[in-house]
Chain A
Amino acid sequence: MSMAGRAGSRGRAAQAALHLGLVLACLAVLLPILWVTRVAVVPASMSYAPGLLPELSGENFEALFAGRFPRSYVNSLIVAAGSVALAMPFAVTLGYAFARFGTAGRAGRFAVLATQMLPPVALVLPAFAILRSLGLTNSLPGLVLVYGALNLPFLTWIMMGFFKGIPVDLEWAAMSDGATAGQAFRIVVLPTALPGMAAAAVLGFILSWNEFLFALVLSGPRTATIPVALAGLQTSNGVQIGTVAAGVVLAVLPLIVASRFIQRFIVEGLTFGAVK
């Protein structure tokens, strides 16, 4: 009895300590974001002023919209969505071939990841050279192409994982039910893999959305993406911290929405296996 009581109180103490740790960890993650939000919504002159919310103002956002930011926002949307749309069909078919037929063997599968293993700086100059020979530097199609290529290996591996989780019995059932191998893939496997494809697409979108180095080298003033545009606010006259903060807040918004989606899709993607 007393043993149980003591164990119980010790358990409660451990729980409290655990929760305290979690709260601190959350704060460590959240504080910078909260601070950026705070800087974005107070007047630029008060960016470094003491006080939690000395005064509310939209002036940072006005400054942001007066500049090239709206354009870069649209650019980022086009590049991120376009690169995912470009890479997904290849990632899906390649991932399926890897998962089901062991195409290219283990070595081949890892070779696909080679570009992921090199430091990005080693890739950015060749990419520039290729785009220049195609006349696609400073253009959105050029960025879409490069981001698509950068996304492909990692999207392929995600899709391979999802396809491996789909029992081959499903395809066998479809084929003995009269489907061709192609029909079995399109009508049975693809819809089953849809949550996985959505999750992969969102991840690819986020990667492209946040990419800085390639965008900096490959884009021009009219094709800059958000990270490049925000970096451009750090001028020789100093950093316009209020405007940057406003830009960061707007840039993070779609990612928050996306991460909600991704949670749902990944959970769904992992539970379809329960269909026995």
Chain B
Amino acid sequence: MARITLDRVSRVYAGGALGVQDISLDVADGEFLVLLGPSGCGKSTTLRLIAGLEEVTSGRISIGDRDVTDLRPRDRNLAVVFQSYALYPTMTVRANIGFGLRMRGMPASEIAARVDQAAALLGLTPYLDRKPAVLSGGQRQRVALGRAIVREPEAFLLDEPLSNLDAQLRAEMRAELVRLHRSLGRTIVHVTHDQVEAMTMGDRICILRAGRIEQVGAPLEVYASPANMFVARFLASPPMNFLPARLEAGAAPALVLAPGVAWPVPPAHAEAWGRAAGRPVMLGLRPEDFHLEPAPGRIACALAVTAVEALGPETIVTGDLVAVPGLASLKARLGRGQVPRPGESLTLHADLTAAHLFDPATEAVIPRPSVPQPVRSA
């Protein structure tokens, strides 16, 4: 059983630099957990702490039912794939893959058999006698994976394993890693700063910021209910739009963007949002919550288009609200073939039932009942 538990783990570096602070995390046996966050937020530190390559400043770490906080890396039986791949440059691919088995004193014949098997699985058989220096980036990445797989560890710790690959190879390896996870059934902690990897690969995402956990949850759950503005901004591209507003109570509560520009609060959210009445709020609307077609409950707003990115399957339109010039620059996601021109005025219909309100001071979400996933209109 390889459930990984971090209990209030902190890591402070000499000189006071903060690695991670007060991380509590429970990775289930066999789970694929993605650690997501911007550069420098403590993802690698978390991984190194789990692997035992760095000592915790405080807190406990356990794997299965063993407290491993004071164990050396070699006694934790985890496999780490580093962002740099960290292949041993003086050894052949064969020796690289077999290294962990050799260190565990496995008989040479069995090492050879296992290395051959792993190499075949990863398509590395023709390269077994080469040195890492002559391999391509994708091949090196596979060697690093092979080195991890062959040991049959309790869990895999992957530190941005796909970040050095080109876009196409990265997409292939995303799928391949998910397949490997399914066939091996082992716990995986996968570090990335790429939100596509986070959304598509993991059972759950753990979002880190400046050494602290911001939110943990299933990808779609985090997407649908971000805990704060950071998560809302970070987990999607283009990120959520934020409009400063004021929540006015009354018989018909409304979000006032500017004098005379008031958007009615959807009745479903009136009660939950009511406690923020009379206060400034941040209205969060995802680019995909703007539509070209009107519908009951949608609020019409004119957008002065400033930029258009036609990506093929979709079009990202940037513009300013005509009613409130200078309020904020908005991005809207339109369907295929809908390509307005910069300078044009475009009438969009915002779906406020999908919107979130945030407290501008704390950036925390003002909770509301969850709504069924809005259906994308073409």
Question: A276 contacts which chain B residues (CB < 8 A)?
Answer: 84-85, 137, 140, 164
CA distance A264 to B99 in the complex (A): 29
Q: Judging by beta carbons under 8 Å apart, are A274 and B133 in contact?
A: yes
Q: Judging by beta carbons under 8 Å apart, are B88 and A178 in contact?
A: no
Closest CB in chain B relative to A227 CB, distance in Å: 38
Q: Judging by beta carbons under 8 Å apart, are B72 and A275 in contact?
A: no
Partner of B74, one of A179, A188, A192: A179
Known: A169-B84, A172-B53. A179 touches B89 (CB 8 A): no
Chain A: which residue is nearest B87 at the CB level?
A275
Question: A176 contacts which chain B residues (CB < 8 A)?
Answer: 51-53, 73-74, 76, 78-80, 157
CA distance A169 to B132 in the complex (A): 15
Closest CB in chain B relative to A226 CB, distance in Å: 36
Question: A180 contacts which chain B residues (CB < 8 A)?
Answer: 72, 74
A112: Cβ under 8 A from any B Cβ: no
Closest CB in chain B relative to A115 CB, distance in Å: 30
Chain B: which residue is nearest A183 at the CB level?
B103
A177: Cβ under 8 A from any B Cβ: yes
Residue of A169, A175, A183, A276 with highest tally of chain B CB at under 10 A: A276
Chain A: which residue is nearest B85 at the CB level?
A276
Residue of B52, B78, B99, B132 with highest tally of chain A CB at under 10 A: B99
Summed over the interface, the residue pairs from A and B with CB atoms below 8 Å come to a total of 76
Chain A: which residue is nearest B81 at the CB level?
A173
Closest CB in chain B relative to A30 CB, distance in Å: 36
Residue of B89, B99, B103 with highest tally of chain A CB at under 10 A: B89
CA distance A174 to B151 in the complex (A): 13
Chain B: which residue is nearest A274 at the CB level?
B133
Question: B100 contacts which chain A residues (CB < 8 A)?
Answer: 177-178
Q: Judging by beta carbons under 8 Å apart, are B86 and A170 in contact?
A: yes
CA distance A191 to B99 in the complex (A): 14
Q: B32-90: which have CB < 8 Å to A?
A: 48, 51-53, 72-74, 76, 78-80, 82-90
Question: B104 contacts which chain A residues (CB < 8 A)?
Answer: 178
Q: Judging by beta carbons under 8 Å apart, are B147 and A177 in contact?
A: yes
Closest CB in chain B relative to A184 CB, distance in Å: 9
Chain A binding surface SS class:
helix
CA distance A174 to B80 in the complex (A): 10
CA distance A174 to B96 in the complex (A): 10
Closest CB in chain B relative to A105 CB, distance in Å: 11
A110: Cβ under 8 A from any B Cβ: no
Chain A: which residue is nearest B153 at the CB level?
A176
Known: A276-B140, A276-B164. A178 touches B90 (CB 8 A): no
A237-276: contact bitstring with B at CB < 8 Å (1 yes, 0 no)? 0000000000000000000000000000000000010111
Interface size class on chain B is: 20 to 34
A153-171: contact bitstring with B at CB < 8 Å (1 yes, 0 no)? 0000000000000010110
Q: Judging by beta carbons under 8 Å apart, are A172 and B86 in contact?
A: yes
Closest CB in chain A relative to B303 CB, distance in Å: 45
Q: Judging by beta carbons under 8 Å apart, are A191 and B80 in contact?
A: no
Question: B51 contacts which chain A residues (CB < 8 A)?
Answer: 172, 176
B333-352: contact bitstring with A at CB < 8 Å (1 yes, 0 no)? 00000000000000000000
CA distance A167 to B89 in the complex (A): 11
Question: A169 contacts which chain B residues (CB < 8 A)?
Answer: 82-84, 86
Partner of B90, one of A173, A175, A177, A192: A192
A191-215: contact bitstring with B at CB < 8 Å (1 yes, 0 no)? 1101000000000000000000000
Question: B48 contacts which chain A residues (CB < 8 A)?
Answer: 172
Known: A275-B132, A276-B140, A276-B164. A175 touches B53 (CB 8 A): yes
Question: A191 contacts which chain B residues (CB < 8 A)?
Answer: 90
Residue of B53, B72, B73 with highest tally of chain A CB at under 10 A: B73
Question: B99 contacts which chain A residues (CB < 8 A)?
Answer: 174, 177, 179
CA distance A101 to B249 in the complex (A): 62
Q: Judging by beta carbons under 8 Å apart, are A174 and B88 in contact?
A: yes
Q: Judging by beta carbons under 8 Å apart, are B72 and A175 in contact?
A: yes
Known: A178-B104, A275-B132, A276-B164. A173 touches B74 (CB 8 A): no
Q: Judging by beta carbons under 8 Å apart, are A172 and B103 in contact?
A: no
CA distance A249 to B83 in the complex (A): 52
Question: B88 contacts which chain A residues (CB < 8 A)?
Answer: 170, 173-174, 188, 192
Closest CB in chain A relative to B156 CB, distance in Å: 11
Chain B: which residue is nearest A191 at the CB level?
B90
CA distance A174 to B103 in the complex (A): 9
Q: Judging by beta carbons under 8 Å apart, are A172 and B89 in contact?
A: no
Closest CB in chain A relative to B359 CB, distance in Å: 41
Known: A178-B74, A274-B133, A276-B164. A173 touches B86 (CB 8 A): yes
Partner of B80, one of A172, A183, A194: A172
Closest CB in chain A relative to B168 CB, distance in Å: 19
Q: Judging by beta carbons under 8 Å apart, are A173 and B103 in contact?
A: no
13 contacts between A and B (CB under 8 A): A167-B86, A172-B48, A172-B82, A172-B86, A173-B82, A175-B72, A176-B78, A176-B80, A176-B157, A180-B72, A183-B103, A188-B88, A192-B90
Given contacts A172-B48, A173-B87, A176-B52, 8 further A-B contacts (CB under 8 A): A169-B83, A173-B88, A174-B88, A175-B53, A177-B100, A194-B90, A274-B133, A276-B84
Binding site for B on A (CB under 8 A): 167, 169-170, 172-180, 183, 188, 191-192, 194, 272, 274-276
3 tightest Cβ-Cβ pairs between the two chains A and B = A178-B103, A169-B86, A177-B100
